[in-house]
Amino acid sequence: MNDTQQRLFAIILKLHKPNIPVGLDLTLKDDLRLDSLSFTELVVACEDEFGIEIDMDHPETQAARTVGDLYSGIQRLISAN
């Protein structure tokens, strides 16, 4: 597990306290039970933690279904900086 994954998992644990181990394959809606407000809170926390800006209207953001999808988007934005 790399630093970005560890930091993302820590954010998820802090905000949502899932009763299952956090992994890249967890679904945001079904496993973590995120609604649109919870997802927005998660995105804002990620922006703050990683110093990036995540466009909520971007197709990749809207298509994010798993923690892995979110992680991939964060990695892409970090690499672009």
CATH code, 12: 1.10.1200.10
- Per annotation, catalytic residue among 3, 30, 31, 35: 35
pLDDT, residue 37, reads 95
pLDDT, residue 20, reads 85
Backbone torsions φ then ψ of 66, nearest 5 degrees: -130, 165
Active site residue 31: no
The Cα 75–Cα 77 span in angstroms is 5
How many C-beta neighbours within 10 Å does residue 37 have?
8
- Residue 10's domain comprises 3-80
Tens digit of pLDDT for each residue in 9-54? 999 999 988 788 999 999 999 999 999 999 999 999 999 999 999 9
Number of domains present in the structure of the chain = 1
The Cα 48–Cα 19 span in angstroms is 25
